[in-house]
């Protein structure tokens, strides 16, 4: 079984790409598998929370098109400050754009001004709906892809359709795109587990990113559903937990305390799962 080998060496052999390995190295060195979903009202607030909790996270997830900007100069300033934060605190930036079109269109959406996502995002989220051709666009721009295999919201089709998750994985494997796919957004394991649960022993491992995590709430009025940190990691097999309002809604003065609580619980559960 997987449990017998040294975990770090077996992981370094098995992760899908240098990009997933890079994130895994950050997780180990910062003792954090917490991705902050920085769903702030303003870009200034996003930069503030990044400054405050940057040392506690392995990744920051953005929705650049959901932030208010007054003019293109502000967008340029935002991109520069975010990139500085990521390099200062050593975290990856995931733009949660959920690309879902043919390759030619996706390429434009990835590069077009003013957001120019390909300039500052390390990883981007992508729906598997269009099929494998569009993955070439991300490969060309050297962006890590996180494919959406299941969602957290009530009644989401990826979770309801019986083969959606399986087909999403097959699409990656059959098109030979393992090297740019960092992992999956999912509520359960896609392929082989880092922790030895499910999947074959020598297969390529992808990282599992799981949103819908909160220690304070079970859902919202618009279909979001939450599980706890331990449930996400130990039951659902998350490697990285994605937390937004669980931290943001604690208020500015409690951001650090809240992020530390999620980091600590997440890291303890990950160590338990991977037997680190």
Residues in contact with ligand 5IU by CB under 6 A are: 37, 39, 96, 148, 151-152, 185, 211-212, 224, 242-246
Alpha helices in 72-187 (DSSP H): 72-89, 103-111, 117-120, 135-140, 157-160, 164-174
Nearer to ligand 5IU, 151 or 238 (CB): 151
Nearer to ligand 5IU, 96 or 239 (CB): 96
Q: In whole angstroms, what is the distance from residue 181 CA to residue 138 CA?
A: 9
Nearer to ligand 5IU, 73 or 249 (CB): 249
* CB of 185 closer than 8 Å to CB of 148: yes
Nearer to ligand 5IU, 148 or 240 (CB): 148
Cα-trace Rg, the chain: 18
Q: Scan for tokens 């009025």, then name that residue.
A: 221
Which one of the listed residues 61, 79, 81, 98 is annotated catalytic?
98
Residues 6+ apart with CB under 8 A from 10: 2
Q: Scan for tokens 């991705």, then name that residue.
A: 35
> Residue 224 CB, nearest distance to ligand 5IU (Å)?
5
> Residue 241 CB, nearest distance to ligand 5IU (Å)?
9
> Residue 42 CB, nearest distance to ligand 5IU (Å)?
16
C-beta neighbour count of 252 within 10 angstroms: 11
Alpha helices in 161-220 (DSSP H): 164-174
> Residue 245 CB, nearest distance to ligand 5IU (Å)?
3
Query: Distance from first CA to last CA of the chain, Å, rounded?
Result: 16
> Residue 5 CB, nearest distance to ligand 5IU (Å)?
32
Peptide bond into 114 cis (omega under 30): yes
> Residue 256 CB, nearest distance to ligand 5IU (Å)?
18
Length of the chain: 276
- DSSP annotation of 65 reads G
Hey, which residues does 205 pair with through a beta bridge?
15, 192
- Tokens found for residue 111: 């590069």
Distance set, CA 173 to CA 98, 103, 126, 144, 202 (Å): 20, 18, 16, 16, 14
271 is catalytic: no
- Tokens found for residue 229: 């940190």
Residues noted as catalytic: 98
């Amino acid at each position: 079984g997987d449990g017998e080998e040294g975990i770090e060496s077996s992981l370094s052999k098995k992760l899908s790409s240098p990009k997933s390995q890079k994130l895994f190295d950050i997780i180990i060195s910062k003792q954090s598998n917490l991705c902050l979903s920085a769903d702030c009202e303003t870009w200034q607030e996003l930069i503030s929370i990044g400054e405050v909790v940057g040392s506690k996270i392995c990744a920051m997830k953005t929705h650049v098109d959901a932030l208010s900007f007054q003019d293109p100069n502000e967008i340029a300033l935002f991109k520069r400050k975010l990139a500085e934060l990521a390099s200062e605190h050593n975290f990856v930036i995931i733009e949660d754009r959920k690309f879902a079109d043919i390759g030619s269109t996706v390429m434009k959406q990835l590069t077009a001004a003013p957001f120019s996502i390909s300039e500052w995002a390390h990883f981007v989220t992508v729906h598997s709906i269009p099929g494998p051709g569009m993955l070439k666009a991300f490969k060309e721009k050297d962006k890590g892809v996180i494919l959406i295999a299941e969602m957290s919201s009530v009644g989401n089709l990826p979770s309801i359709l019986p083969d959606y998750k399986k087909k999403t994985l097959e699409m990656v494997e059959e098109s030979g795109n393992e090297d740019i796919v960092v992992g999956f957004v999912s509520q359960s394991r896609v392929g082989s587990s880092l922790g030895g649960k499910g999947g074959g022993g020598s297969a390529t491992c992808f990282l599992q990113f799981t949103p819908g995590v909160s220690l304070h709430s079970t859902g919202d009025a618009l279909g979001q559903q939450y599980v706890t940190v331990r449930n996400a990691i130990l039951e659902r097999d998350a490697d990285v937990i994605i937390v937004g309002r669980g931290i943001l809604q604690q208020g500015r003065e409690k951001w650090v305390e809240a992020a530390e609580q999620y980091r600590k619980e997440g890291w303890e559960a990950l160590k338990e799962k991977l037997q680190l």
